[in-house]
Structure 1
Amino acid sequence: MEEYIGELWHRLISRAALREYAAAAITLDEVERSAGLLFRAFGGDPGLRIAPAADTRHGGRLRLFQRMAHSGDKLALAARDAETLHLPARLALFPEKALNRDLYLWLTALAARTDERNDDWLAANQRATLAVLADYPGLEPRYARLVAATLAQRIDPARLPADEAARENAIRRALQAPGSVGELPPLTRKKALSIQPVPLWLRPLPEIELKSASGKKQHESAEGGGTEQKGGDKRYQAERTDMPENESPFVLMFRAESLLSWAEYVKVNRDTEEDPDPDIASKAESMDKLTLARDNKAVASKVRFDLDLPSAAEDDVPIGEGIPLPEWDWKRRRMKPDWCRLQTMEARHAPPTPLPEHLHVAARRLRSQFAALASAKRWQKNQPEGEELDIETCVRAFADRRAGHAGSMPAYLSRTQQVRDLSCLLLADLSLSTDAGIADDMRVIDAIRDGMLLFAEALSACGDSFAMYGFSSLKRGNIRFHEIKPFDAVYDSACRGRIAAIRPGYYTRMGAAIRRATALLEEQSQAQRLLLILSDGKPTDIDAYEGRYAIEDTRMSLVEARRAGIQPFCLTIDREGADYLPHLFGPGGFLVLRHPEELARRLPLLYSQLTRPG
């Protein structure tokens, strides 16, 4: 009975302490796309991604029921760093959905006028607010409604101690008249609490700086200080700390009397590995911060064999000694010369293979369609001389003369030989993620194989110059560039065998692969050169090639390709590609396939659209 009454009491108090309106809740997933567009339209950094914010302990004063229920001390507040714009995963602060949605859009606009510098929190938010309202006066009514709704929910200064009330009044003035408050009044009591959280402002994100034992500083940002829990959207605050030092390793770091005696020892039947704690998720949620430490010792991967690498007898055959390539360091804004090494590979076991039976019908249809694109004689209108009169031009000239205007001279139709002066390089992502299943007995790599086969069948019918390569990587010194069909090779059963021999593995260092593909396309003499990229996810590798660094290096490689007169285009099956692909390829430079099994059918049709004259 006591437990039952306690549970009822806990539910009652928790419900009374809850300061949100569930019926008016808006989630980040609902506004993520519009928030991203708005952030970039307001001049925000196009390379930033939007992610859920972590719950943080704000330290402000709580209401009576919140203190009784021990709740409300944590809140997800918006923030931004050099790589990420952190927004609350769910907003239910106001009783109206429109207000919660407006709060998301306001925080996005505010973040576009704020940088990641460790600036004064109060001054930076007021300065950003003034900038947004000055540039976009149409937001003033929405901001006024948000301020009124926010002030109505804050604790009345009359109910606060004098020093906390002075700070609360300063916050209210700063919200109502941005720029009017230079600094907050000081706290005079020892037990004074911090200010209440301000949901209309961005909270500061101090840079995490770790000094190793060697004295070198290492800057690390685990998604802006947060660590994501596997299997959910929950995020946590993280901090770095040093490993506890024990100069005498033979001296125990605990009290000897805490050891079990022989009488207390009980022999149990246990596995070699400890059982995972089933309650570890709830324990993590109760922690304010997840503390990470570095012991400056070599990890096991430094000395163990890398089982991911095939043996020399089974691996593909390397061609040449490898090619050194640069890489773009976006933080230092400079190129790191010869930072990567790309190795061209050729399949070792790739016997000649006929076209698979399930592709015969589609290949026959594509060959007939693309054969019409081959070089042929076509009529050219409005020519000074030719085989026939251009009737349309003659009628127009006669009508102009009847209207009193000087009509143009009669023109002719002439048949001229048109040649498709273009070349295309198809670059396929062969990373380990392409081993994922997408349909019954079908994987992403299978869809890529079928797409490359139909692509080759179509282009061989129209006579366009084309090449096909695949890529994967394992750190910067082992970028594998698989040669499937060079420009000077003929598409035949041997080429189909190399397509059938491709297999997924390793990671996606896309920048180096694009630079090598650009160099190959620069050697071609055609006027139009197309780089068509097949991908299934973000560029990434295990040696810190991830996040903003990988995105910016890939973007710089695409900029270099455009400067060389090459047109890049990306066809991806990554459903989250719309978040980062506009920053890489531009608004019209990519296509996201919602159904990966359509890759084989859409790839040749996409090529015909990209190479259409005019």
Structure 2
Amino acid sequence: MEEFIGGLWHRFITRAATRSYPQAVVRLADMERTAGILFRALGGDPGLRVAPAAEVEHGARRNWLARLAHTGEKTAHAARDDETLRLPAEITLFPERSLNRDLYLWLIAQGAALDVDQALADNWIVANQTASAATLAAFPGFATRYRRLVDAVLAERPDPAKLPADEAAAERAIRQALLAPGSVGSLPAARKPPTPVALWLYPAPVSIDRRQSPANPTPAESRDGGSKTSDATERRRQAQREDMPDGKNGLILPFRAESLLSFADFVKVNRAHDEDTDDDPAKAAGEMDTISVAQDGHDTSSKVRFDLDLPSAAHDDFPLQSGILLPEWDWKKQTLKRDMCSVTVLDARDAEPGPLPSRLVRPARSLRRQLEALTPARRWIKNQPEGTELDIDACVRAFADRRTGHSVGNSGGYQSCERRERDLCCLVLADLSLSTDTWVSDDQRVIDVIRDSLWLFSEALGATGDPFGIYGFSSRRREHIRIHRIKDFDEKIDDRIRGRIGALKPGFYTRMGAAIRYATTILAKRPEALRLLMILSDGKPNDVDHYEGRYGIEDTRMSLNAARQEGVRPFCVTIDKEGQGYLPHLFGPAGYTILRNPAELPARLPRLYAQLTAG
């Protein structure tokens, strides 16, 4: 009975203290695509991605009912840094759904105009006013929405007359800045932070800089082997570095009740072990405002995984060519670094020649029939003065004209055969990173889908006669980029090529920029007019070193720009459900396609090729 009454009281007091409107909720997941398009249309950095913001304690004054119910302690601040625009995962601030949606649109516009350097310099109130004024000046259509939002926000904010003098001064300054952006130069100091301003972006949480990390990754950093799977929310957390406790006499402490919770923060827990099946570190991290990171000197890699170690020469694929140096784009310095990446071209060691798998024989036959329409056809040109055969119709007409006295001279009585060739070629570049080892169904992995796709693609293109090549790639840092030769342009489809496809296995990481540059050097030597580069991928570019996030995205973008300058037409086929956030920045609006169901890739790939080359 006591627990029942306590539950009723908790629900009642929480409902009474919560100042939100769940019935009018608008979620970022529903606005994500619109957010990206609008952000870029308003002049925002096209390389930024949109992601949910984490809830953090704001420290502002709360009313007595909120303190009693322990509600309103945290809020999700909209924020922006060099790589990400963070927006609340959902907005329930206003009773009207249209207002909540307009708040999303305004925060997107604010993020597009915000000066990040000014915001990081603790002038965030000035930076937000400048961004607001610039947005209203450049896009007057936002003025009506902004006024409605300001009126709604001011109605929800605390009354300055009921606040202490210092907090009241800060509140009046915020109200003035909202009503007339640019009129407030600084925020008056107060003992407590002001209530969060829903229309403004706050400084982004400081994240750990990986460049300050040791040169060699810890087992926890490297155990995933380039897998793109992560927390579904991908929320940014505040982070700070701490020294690792030595653990000496850790349990011999003078008993103080207030020390119990703080001591738990420094309990040494190895969460990288495969045996820890009951722990949920992602859930634990999701409930923390600040994550402390310390470098542990103990190596536990022997208990985790070995598959990221490079194989020995006796068990690795045959190196066909090594030491190929390629450049890499440093987006922070805005410079192209020469000879930064080393490429090794490999041939499969364990590839045994074999026929096409029996389960693919019927789909391959069907695709070949569909693509036979693209095969160059023979066409007879009639009524020619010269040719390989007589044009019977022309001869009969000439004879009839002469008999009737209407001869028009020798107009040609021959016909010639013309064969029109398709002046194009294609190179397929497949991502073979370790993330392709993930399962897409009960009996099929991503790498299995890629194998089936390459089998069917190669069989189907045999019906068109178009020259094509197939390569795969993975990487482990910039000095070891692996290009797997599956089929060269001058090789025919046979059991040997099918055996190479069957020998494909997951590799390491995804340094996509270097792989695209190598593929461009191959296509640049081809004589065809249309040179198509089809990229099969399952996620973002990344590697174990600094090649992740914005760095990998921008390097890949620069490699694609260089490919276009060489006359190469890139096109990406991906199964990454979050690809909408970065693929338009890389390939343009018509340069990619996202397959929601990975099992569709084998059948879709040849058809996509037919669509891209039909003209």
Give the TM-score category using the shorter length: 0.7 to 0.9
Q: 2:432 aligned with 1:433, yes or no?
A: no
Q: 2:109 aligned with 1:106, yes or no?
A: no
- Partner of 1:394 in structure 2? none
More deviation in 368-377 or 135-144? 368-377
- For the residues of structure 1 that align with 2:280 and 2:341, how far apart are their CA atoms? 44
CA offset at residue 447 of structure 1? 2.1
CA RMSD, aligned part only? 3.7
SS in 1 for 2:116: coil
- Partner of 1:468 in structure 2? 470
SS in 2 for 1:50: strand
Normalised by the size of structure 1, how large is the TM-score?
A: 0.83
Contact persistence 1:55–1:236 (CA under 8 A): no
CA offset at residue 231 of structure 1? 5.7
- Partner of 1:610 in structure 2? 612
- For the residues of structure 2 that align with 1:306 and 1:282, how far apart are their CA atoms? 26
- Partner of 2:487 in structure 1? 485
CA offset at residue 253 of structure 1? 7.3
Map of 1:302-451 to 2, 5 A cutoff?
Answer: 306-308=306-308, 309-378=310-379, 416-451=418-453
- Partner of 1:156 in structure 2? 159
More deviation in 59-68 or 285-294? 285-294
Q: How many residues align?
A: 561
Normalised by the size of structure 2, how large is the TM-score?
A: 0.82
- Partner of 2:224 in structure 1? none
Q: 1:32 to 1:512 in 2, by over 3 A?
A: same
Q: 1:28 to 1:376 in 2, by over 3 A?
A: same
Map of 1:249-264 to 2, 5 A cutoff?
Answer: none
Q: Residue 88 of structure 2 aligns to which amino acid in structure 1?
A: P
More deviation in 73-82 or 307-316? 307-316
- For the residues of structure 2 that align with 1:325 and 1:458, how far apart are their CA atoms? 33
- Partner of 1:77 in structure 2? 77
Q: 1:229 to 1:365 in 2, by over 3 A?
A: closer
- Partner of 2:141 in structure 1? 138
- Partner of 2:410 in structure 1? none
Alpha-carbon deviations, 1:392-442, whole Å to 9, x = none?
Answer: xxxxxxxxxxxxxxxxxxxxx997432222111111111222223334533
CA offset at residue 7 of structure 1? 4.5
Q: Residue 492 of structure 1 aligns to which amino acid in structure 2?
A: D
Q: 1:105 to 1:414 in 2, by over 3 A?
A: farther
- Partner of 1:403 in structure 2? none
Q: 2:530 aligned with 1:528, yes or no?
A: yes
Q: 2:518 aligned with 1:516, yes or no?
A: yes
Q: How high is the sequence identity, in percent, across the aligned residues?
A: 54
Q: Which has the higher contact order (CA 8 A, sep 6+)?
A: 2
More deviation in 593-602 or 286-295? 286-295
Contact persistence 1:210–1:240 (CA under 8 A): no
Q: 1:245 to 1:92 in 2, by over 3 A?
A: closer
Alpha-carbon deviations, 1:257-315, whole Å to 9, x = none?
Answer: 67xxxxxxxxxxxxx999788697887566432222346x5855699994434443332
Q: 1:307 to 1:603 in 2, by over 3 A?
A: closer
Q: Residue 54 of structure 1 aligns to which amino acid in structure 2?
A: A
- For the residues of structure 1 that align with 2:478 and 2:281, how far apart are their CA atoms? 36
Alpha-carbon deviations, 1:351-383, whole Å to 9, x = none?
Answer: 2211222222232333344344333444799x9
Q: 1:231 to 1:321 in 2, by over 3 A?
A: closer
- For the residues of structure 2 that align with 1:366 and 1:78, how far apart are their CA atoms? 49
- For the residues of structure 2 that align with 1:374 and 1:214, how far apart are their CA atoms? 56
Out of 179, 183, 188, which is 2:186 matched to? 183
Contact persistence 1:322–1:344 (CA under 8 A): no
Q: Residue 449 of structure 2 aligns to which amino acid in structure 1?
A: A
- Partner of 1:195 in structure 2? 194
CA offset at residue 127 of structure 1? 0.7
- For the residues of structure 2 that align with 1:550 and 1:363, how far apart are their CA atoms? 36
- Partner of 1:393 in structure 2? none
- For the residues of structure 2 that align with 1:610 and 1:211, how far apart are their CA atoms? 40
Q: 1:551 to 1:287 in 2, by over 3 A?
A: closer
Contact persistence 2:206–2:238 (CA under 8 A): no
- For the residues of structure 1 that align with 2:14 and 2:445, how far apart are their CA atoms? 48
Q: 1:446 to 1:304 in 2, by over 3 A?
A: closer
CA offset at residue 208 of structure 1? 5.2
Q: 1:608 to 1:4 in 2, by over 3 A?
A: closer
Q: Residue 585 of structure 2 aligns to which amino acid in structure 1?
A: H
- Partner of 1:596 in structure 2? 598
Q: 1:275 to 1:569 in 2, by over 3 A?
A: closer
- For the residues of structure 2 that align with 1:207 and 1:281, how far apart are their CA atoms? 19
- For the residues of structure 1 that align with 2:385 and 2:29, how far apart are their CA atoms? 61
- For the residues of structure 1 that align with 2:378 and 2:426, how far apart are their CA atoms? 23
Contact persistence 1:229–1:235 (CA under 8 A): no
- Partner of 2:26 in structure 1? 26
More deviation in 49-58 or 450-459? 450-459
Q: 2:96 aligned with 1:96, yes or no?
A: yes
Q: Residue 491 of structure 1 aligns to which amino acid in structure 2?
A: I
CA offset at residue 256 of structure 1? 6.5
Alpha-carbon deviations, 1:419-476, whole Å to 9, x = none?
Answer: 2221111111112222233345332222222221222222222221111111112222
- For the residues of structure 2 that align with 1:510 and 1:174, how far apart are their CA atoms? 46
CA offset at residue 35 of structure 1? 1.0
More deviation in 108-117 or 2-11? 2-11
- Partner of 2:578 in structure 1? 576
- For the residues of structure 2 that align with 1:606 and 1:213, how far apart are their CA atoms? 44
- Partner of 1:269 in structure 2? none
- For the residues of structure 1 that align with 2:280 and 2:484, how far apart are their CA atoms? 46
Gaps of 5+ in 2: 216-220, 222-227, 256-270, 392-414
Q: 1:290 to 1:554 in 2, by over 3 A?
A: same
- Partner of 1:399 in structure 2? none
Contact persistence 2:426–2:467 (CA under 8 A): yes
Out of 482, 496, 499, which is 2:498 matched to? 496
- Partner of 1:266 in structure 2? none
Gaps of 5+ in 1: 217-221, 223-227, 259-271, 389-412
